[in-house]
Chains A and B, each alone.
Chain A
């Protein structure tokens, strides 16, 4: 009987210590979780701030200014645009239609205001003397790093 009591006492003590330990752990982990959560919130807000910042660096106003003043680009007009067919349609029509001005709207080249802000760091005007067609290609590829 005494032995059983002693055993039970030890069990109760163990359980009690374990409870204390668990409680402590739970609080410690909750604190960590809370820190992580507020960190995630902070990062979210930071991301939003940066997105807005990126947008305000890439507004039409600024892009046009940089394109005109630093890159010496000018607005595209239909007179300096060569309209080409999309690949699928070229295959369908055969080679004869490539020289015709009839083209799908999507093949229209992008103009200066569509240039990605990343280009703004160029100081020399690399595209100035290039023809419209390749200008369009260049801009199209660079617009991929533009804001989605």
Chain B
């Protein structure tokens, strides 16, 4: 074979003709491929696009909560009693925390924690979020921010602030750190105060700024504000005077209730000891208890006016009927009923004025048990007061069917039944409202409230005059008098029950009203276990009554009804018009 015969350019293989269908087949395959892509693209973008749209939305749309404000609590004059304030809280995200020991030490020092404690809290790297310290003050938060530690952040939270502090703590109550009401009005009206948080869906850009609203915004509903019937000035005075008395008489506790006679509103309700609601840690039950409404006790002599009122109403006695109380001792069914001092023959007026147990017993035994029981029930003893508030109790009043004569006798001077101070104050509206019992309210309504008549006006007025005598010369509570205003009320001193019998520990009470001719307020005071030698209601509770009445009537703008020797040193310039 010659050299020429071998040509690389002309292969014998190429000589054979390629069939045309092969290239056409390839073209068709490619075309089919494109067609497939086009169909898929159309399918993805036009027909079945929901899935991808959804996935897209998930990647750039954020749902944000819009917080609702918790309602504020005001007193009757619009002063803030409780309000929520945004305060910074410090948190960590352990999964991307910068654990530089120097910075960690600085942070621990700022947060007033030990370094091991801080490290322990942020140990678990799987955790996305850990609170380090909640509700700190603004400067601390600024300092933490200034450290610029990765994985440490500051977030605003709502903290409940109570400007009036311990004076109104039992009425207003307090909330948890999560803003749930725990006590008092905060608990009772928690649902109304809370409101509902809203939400919105937005697109955020890479700076974290909201750039587009996706619609679907749910507006937050703020909690409703609440206006209590409490007058913070009256409350303050009442609390201060009560505190002074409890501390001064070395007592273990005390309570005070001030009512508006016209409207049935509670102007003040305070207990000592109390607590500071702003920082409710390490609280004891003794501090937290709203004694005026949750504690019941035997009311002692404060019960006598009801017995006398009923006896007058039944026509059994008149104010001038003479009752023989003898030498201060009365034997009955194996018991001896005693007066503090022998009173001899005294009128019904004096039975109240001098608080004679024997007198009250003799009057009460002239009436059937059912009538007495009816009277006690009508003024609210043995029933839970109809006021929305946590912890209200009804006290004990047994059915008249089970009363023995000795029990009827002891009940007439306040032993053998139990009431709360709140109930006692409520019951005294009977005399202040000329024979009517009125419903009470812790909410401001400022309207004259209608009552239910229990005894006639004449008999209620007669008892009120007797109550006035209690605070007068020869009565058990001259210390209840106050400058400028005529007052009336009833003292009570009750032995406390201990074990199976009565101990030598006492409770002293005073329940009264002022001005006596046209009462505007009722003040009830209870001092528990005074131990400085004084324990009579007229000595320990009456002065608190006196001071509270003085201040409360002045704040309410009520003109004195008694002449006072003026002590004005110079004459004022005549007013010009």
Contact = CB atoms under 8 A, between A and B. Distances in A.
Interface of A: 26-28, 30-31, 34-35, 45, 48-49, 51-52, 55-56, 59-61, 75-84, 87, 90-91, 98, 101, 103-106, 108, 111, 113, 131-134, 147-148
B164 A30 contact: no
Interface residues of B, number: 49
Contacts of B484: 77-79
* Most central of B164, B211, B574 by chain A CB within 10 Å: B211
Given A30-B210, A51-B83, A131-B568, A77 B557 contact: no
Given A60-B233, A77-B483, A84-B575, A34 B78 contact: no
Contact of B211 (A30, A52, A55, A82): A30
B165 interface: yes
Given A78-B483, A111-B554, A132-B568, A105 B209 contact: no
A77 to B, nearest CB: 5
Given A103-B559, A131-B572, A77 B233 contact: no
Given A45-B85, A56-B163, A80-B567, A113 B233 contact: yes
B554 A87 contact: no
A97 to B, nearest CB: 13
A79 B564 contact: yes
B80 A55 contact: yes
Contact of B558 (A55, A77, A105): A105
Contacts of A134: 572-573
A28 to B, nearest CB: 8
A48 B236 contact: no
Interface in B534-577: 550-551, 554, 556-560, 563-575, 577
A31 B206 CA distance: 12
A79 B551 CA distance: 14
A81 B202 CA distance: 64
B558 A82 contact: no
B559 A48 contact: no
A87 B213 CA distance: 60
Nearest to B557: A105
Chain A, interface SS category: helix
Contacts of A76: 554
A83 B210 contact: no
B49 interface: no
B574 A108 contact: no
Contacts of B85: 45, 48-49, 52
Contacts of A113: 233, 236
Contact of B236 (A27, A61, A101, A147): A61
A108 B233 CA distance: 16
A61 B167 contact: yes
Contact of A80 (B83, B211, B568): B568
A140 to B, nearest CB: 12
A47 to B, nearest CB: 10
Given A56-B163, A79-B567, A80-B566, 10 more contacts: A30-B211, A30-B212, A52-B163, A55-B163, A61-B165, A78-B485, A81-B568, A82-B568, A98-B574, A133-B572
A103 B557 CA distance: 11
B29 to A, nearest CB: 36
Contacts of A108: 554, 557, 559
B568 to A, nearest CB: 5
A144 B237 CA distance: 22
A45 to B, nearest CB: 4
Interface string B268-289: 0000000000000000000000
Contacts of B573: 133-134
A109 to B, nearest CB: 9
A104 B559 CA distance: 7
Contact of A48 (B79, B83, B165, B483): B83
Contact of B84 (A26, A48, A105): A48
A48 B161 CA distance: 11
A136 to B, nearest CB: 8
B232 interface: yes
B164 to A, nearest CB: 6
Interface string B444-485: 000000000000000000000000000000000000000111
Contacts of A31: 205, 209-211
A34 B80 CA distance: 30
Contacts of A49: 85-86
A147 to B, nearest CB: 7
Given A31-B209, A51-B83, A108-B554, A59 B164 contact: yes
Nearest to B558: A105
Contacts of B161: 52, 56
B554 A45 contact: no
A96 B567 CA distance: 23
15 contacts: A34-B209, A45-B156, A48-B85, A52-B85, A52-B163, A59-B164, A60-B164, A61-B167, A80-B567, A80-B568, A82-B572, A101-B563, A131-B570, A131-B571, A133-B572
